[in-house]
Copies of this chain bind each other. A is one copy, B any other.
Amino acid sequence: MTDMNRVWRLRKRPVGVIGDDILSFDKEAMPVPADGQFLFRLNYLSLDPTNRVWMSDMDQYMPPVAIGEAMRGVVCGTVVSSKHPDFAAGDVVSGLGSWSEYQLGSPPFLNKLGPLGGAAVADAFGLFAVVGPTAYFGLIDLGQPKAGETVVVSAAAGAVGSIVGQIAKLKGCRAVGLAGSAEKCAWLVNDLGFDAAINYKTEDVSAALKRACPKGIDIYFDNVGGDILDACLKQMNYKGRIPTCGLISQYNATDEVPGPKNYPMILMQRLKVEGFIVLDYANRYPEAVGALGEWLAKGQIKFRLDMQEGLENAVTTLRKLYTGENQGKLMLHVS
């Protein structure tokens, strides 16, 4: 255990791509737990599209990270010392923390990870902390998939999208994914069992959707917004659902982003568009973790980590999310 802590602090609001001057990586004094807190060391840092939202001052679902504040993140770590009666050194915890090697925590934001059910810590953290419940509640609760329906998901080779398509298959639906490379598309169809995949960077998305969804789209699980949303809106079936999980195509935008021009399809086809974030479902996590754990144990769901090394690489690694360079759940191994 070193004497000094290492902390990423937000210095500026990003404009466009997250520049190297947006955060600083500082050496600081070790934090000391007060009564009711524990000190933990970061093992894994989850890197998520929403990190860019928290850095900005756009309208968002939590207060943005303040300038000078440690960057917020979804974290997994091991308790070093504790002044909280329910936590002891060695406990593995996860939840909402910061981009800091050592940090203080307490419930409700940090809780013990588990039960692991035989899974490795990184897998359990990667699947159960954010990704799995996001896919589960967005598709099942808002999407209401029925056997025989067609489910389209964008960012399908991403962490959430890859789980959405696999749950869609488990529910008897046709699963169609959009991804940004031939390799990702092949992975979706050959390894994950998607019925079709579309390379949105090289194909005419509208024409490809027509081929891949001969009966139209019943559920479009939206991770990206933008042009892909517009293309899907145009092919939605009567009473279709659009769970809105993310709008990553526009997080890095510097100019005002136009809205979807096919918005009138919401009226014409009587669609339901509904935004959600997984924190809204915090009290129902056990339901999702139970179902996902069972599918994982039976080999019915495959989950891939894109594990990178070193807290010092947090910013350069995060940037991969917005260019589509990652494949699977992007995470940093810290210690």
Residues of chain A touching chain B, judged by Cβ–Cβ distance below 8 Å, are 58-61, 225, 230, 234, 244-247, 250, 256-277, 280
| Distance A315 CA – B61 CA, assembled complex (angstroms) | 47
B275 touches A270 (CB 8 A): yes
Contacts of A257 in B (CB 8 A): 261, 264
A-B interface, 4 closest residue pairs, ranked by CB to CB distance from nearest: A259-B259, A267-B275, A259-B260, A266-B275
The answer on a CB contact under 8 Å between A274 and B272 is yes
**Chain B: which residue is nearest A230 at the CB level?**
B259
Q: Is the CB of B275 within 8 A of A274?
A: no
Can you give 25 A-B contacts (C-beta < 8 A)?
Answer: A59-B265, A59-B268, A59-B269, A225-B264, A244-B266, A245-B267, A247-B264, A247-B267, A250-B264, A256-B261, A258-B258, A258-B261, A259-B260, A259-B262, A263-B263, A267-B277, A268-B275, A270-B274, A270-B275, A270-B276, A270-B277, A271-B274, A271-B275, A272-B273, A272-B274
14 additional A-B residue pairs with CB within 8 Å, beyond A59-B264, A225-B263, A267-B276: A244-B266, A244-B267, A245-B267, A247-B263, A256-B261, A257-B261, A259-B260, A259-B263, A265-B275, A266-B274, A266-B275, A267-B275, A270-B277, A272-B274
Contact check, A274 vs B273: say whether CB atoms are below 8 A apart: yes
Which of chain B's residues have a CB closer than 8 A to the CB of A266? 244, 273-275
How many whole Å from A169's CB to the nearest CB in chain B? Answer: 25
B contact residues around A261 at 8 Å (CB): 256-259
Of A230, A250, A268, the most chain B CB neighbours within 10 A belong to A268
Please tell me if the beta carbons of A61 and B274 are within 8 angstroms of each other in the complex.
no
Q: Which residue of B lies closest to A279 (CB)?
A: B270
